Each structure stands twice: as structure tokens, then as C-alpha cells.
């Protein structure tokens, strides 16, 4: 696996692949890789001739400077994992290669970015949309792979590719879970042992709500019960636990179209998110 840090070098490698008719997939990451990321790499390998992984801790998507500062940076370890997983090229640019002096453009996906995580992390999704747009344009990838765990992010990325006519096919890959149901996330390592033991309560409560709604329980009743269960398990705050349309993320009173329950909740100073389909 080759590592490049400059856009020119990246474009050179991609041009050489495309010149011989090879298709290219990209898996954008911020590093601190876990098996969930490796499942995206595996899907990318199955879906294209060549795979690029990117590692860039994007300053524009952090609301708080302290979160950016403490985000784990483990490039050597990550690069080893990516090489073993069969990635062809790692693009790990410095911040100046992505946001040069005078950078003044922002991509904002209205509507989809506003509720759920967007309501609690102002500017976060504009930062994500801007960097993902740049990564699509810099790599020129034909396909891109994102985790369904960040469901709102996935819908935003699909929409920006469509709205801006970027010729990349975006694929969502299923959330990988620990044996006890906790969605894999680089944030899980920040949980204390006691909080790690309590954390699966979020998925358990959401799964129980999904089952109840499928049985005909009114969604507000099922969601209120789930909220209570999460708080009883030791979470300090439920930011949201809602039923939304799967694609447009519109609030729903009933699952009368493809729908998902999405949640964000705080446990011991760590913000966990998850989502589950109602109709699967």
C-alpha cells in the first residue's frame, strides 16, 4: 500500500488506474480504525478494482476545539490495518492540503443537516459535507462506502453527490456490532468499564421499541419507554430518540413508509449514536 499526502500525487495514481480501465472506490475515514471500517474496506474491494482509504481528522466538523484536540491519531496502526485489508492507496493529507490559506467555500445540505445530530452539533454536517465533497473531487472515485451507523451523514452524502452531479455511487454498509449489541465506534474506547457494561442498553431499548412498534404499539409510547430505559441504565441524557423517514429524515407519527429509529445519548461524558430500521 502506498501513502500519499498531496492531491497532485493522488490524482496521478488514480489517473494511471483509470487509464487502464480500472474502477476506483474510496472509503473516507478519520482514522482510529475498528472492524466497522474494515467492513467498509471489504465492501469497497468487492465493488471496485482499486481501493483508496483516506485518513483526515477534519477540523471543520468538530464543534469544540477540545474534541478535535483529543481525537485519537493512530496513523501508523491504521495504515497497518489498511494494508492488511488490501487497500491500494492511503491518502492522508495534512490540513493545508485540504484547506489551503484563504479557503472560503462551504457545502451545506439544507433540511437533512438540520435536525437530529445537526440540531445538537451546529456546523458539524457542513464540515462533513465540505470535506466529503472535496474527497470525492480529489479522488475522482467511482464508488464510495460509508457506514450506516452514521445514518444522517449517509443521507447527506448521498444528497450532496446527487445535487452537485458528482459521478460517484454512494453505498451504505450495515452497522457492525459488538456481541452485546453495542454499535462499533472509535468513541467506545473512551467508556469506563462500568459505562461500557451499560452502553448496550441503548441498542436494547431501541430494539424493544422497534419490536413494539411492529406489534402495533403507538410510536410515541414505544419511544417514551425506550428513553426511560436508557436513562435507567445510567445514561445521563437522551439528546433524541425519534422515528424518522429513512431517506428524508422527516419526523413520523407512524411507520407508514421506510422508517428508522435514530438516537443519540450521553453516557459518562461520551456521546453515543445508533439507528435501526423499522421495516427490515
Residue 58 within binding range of ligand PAF, rule CB under 6 A: yes
29 binds ligand PAF (CB under 6 A): yes
Instruction: Quote the least distance from Cβ 106 to ligand PAF, whole Å.
Output: 14
44 binds ligand PAF (CB under 6 A): no
Q: Quote the distance between the C-alpha of residue 205 and its chain's center.
A: 22
Q: From residue 9, how far is each of 12, 16, 67, 143, 194 by CA, in Å?
A: 5, 11, 30, 20, 46
Show the site string, 90-119: x = touches ligand PAF by CB under 6 A, - = not: ------------------------------
DSSP letter assigned to residue 40: H
> Distances from the Cα of 215 to the Cαs of 40, 201, 278, in angstroms?
33, 21, 11
- Residue 30 interacts with ligand PAF (CB under 6 A): yes or no: yes
Q: Tell me if 201 contacts ligand PAF by CB under 6 A.
A: no
- Rounded CA separation 228/209 (Å): 11
Q: Verify whether residue 124 is a known catalytic residue.
A: no
Tell me the pairing of strands 2-4 and 89-91.
Answer: parallel
Residue 242, strand partner residues: 262
Q: Does 39 bind ligand PAF (CB under 6 A)?
A: no
H-run or E-run covering 242: strand 237-245
28 touches ligand PAF by CB under 6 A = yes
Number of residues that bind ligand PAF (CB under 6 A): 10
- Closest to ligand PAF by CB, 58 vs 275, is 58
Closest to 5 (Cα-Cα) out of 75, 71, 74: 75
- Whole-number Å distance between alpha carbons of 224 and 5: 48
Report, in Å, the least distance between residue 150 CB and ligand PAF: 5
Pick from 150, 229, 242, 274 the residue near ligand PAF by CB under 6 A: 150
Smallest gap from residue 232 Cβ to ligand PAF (A)? 30
Residue from 10, 40, 85, 131 binding ligand PAF (CB under 6 A)? 131
- Binding residues for ligand PAF, rule: CB under 6 A, are 28-30, 58, 61, 128, 131-132, 150, 153
Catalytic (active-site) positions: 37
Amino acid at each position: 500500500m502506498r501513502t500519499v499526502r498531496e492531491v497532485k500525487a493522488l490524482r496521478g495514481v488514480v489517473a494511471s488506474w483509470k487509464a487502464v480501465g480500472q474502477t476506483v472506490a474510496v472509503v473516507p475515514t478519520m482514522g482510529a480504525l475498528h472492524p466497522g471500517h474494515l467492513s467498509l474496506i471489504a465492501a469497497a474491494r468487492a465493488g471496485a478494482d482499486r481501493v483508496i482509504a483516506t485518513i483526515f481528522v477534519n477540523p471543520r466538523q468538530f464543534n469544540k476545539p477540545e474534541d478535535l484536540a483529543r481525537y485519537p491519531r493512530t496513523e501508523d496502526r491504521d495504515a497497518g490495518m489498511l494494508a492488511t485489508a488490501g487497500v491500494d492507496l492511503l491518502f492522508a493529507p495534512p490540513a493545508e492540503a485540504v484547506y489551503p490559506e484563504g479557503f472560503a467555500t462551504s457545502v451545506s445540505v439544507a433540511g437533512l443537516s438540520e435536525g437530529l445530530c445537526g440540531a445538537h452539533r451546529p456546523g458539524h454536517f457542513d464540515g462533513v459535507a465540505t470535506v466529503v465533497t472535496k474527497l470525492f473531487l480529489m479522488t475522482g472515485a467511482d464508488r464510495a462506502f460509508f457506514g450506516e451507523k452514521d445514518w444522517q451523514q449517509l443521507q447527506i452524502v448521498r444528497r450532496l453527490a446527487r445535487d452537485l452531479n458528482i459521478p460517484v455511487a454512494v453505498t451504505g454498509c450495515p452497522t457492525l456490532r459488538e456481541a452485546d449489541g453495542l454499535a462499533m465506534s472509535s468513541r467506545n474506547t473512551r467508556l469506563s468499564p462500568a459505562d461500557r457494561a451499560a452502553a448496550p442498553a441503548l441498542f436494547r431499548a431501541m430494539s424493544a421499541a422497534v419490536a413494539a412498534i411492529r406489534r402495533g404499539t403507538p410510536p410515541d409510547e414505544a419511544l417514551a419507554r425506550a428513553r426511560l430505559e436508557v436513562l435507567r441504565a445510567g445514561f445521563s441524557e437522551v439528546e433524541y430518540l425519534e422515528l424518522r423517514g429513512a431517506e428524508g429524515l422527516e419526523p413520523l407519527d407512524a411507520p407508514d413508509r421506510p422508517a428508522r429509529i435514530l438516537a443519540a445519548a450521553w453516557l459518562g461524558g461520551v456521546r453515543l449514536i445508533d439507528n435501526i430500521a423499522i421495516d427490515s
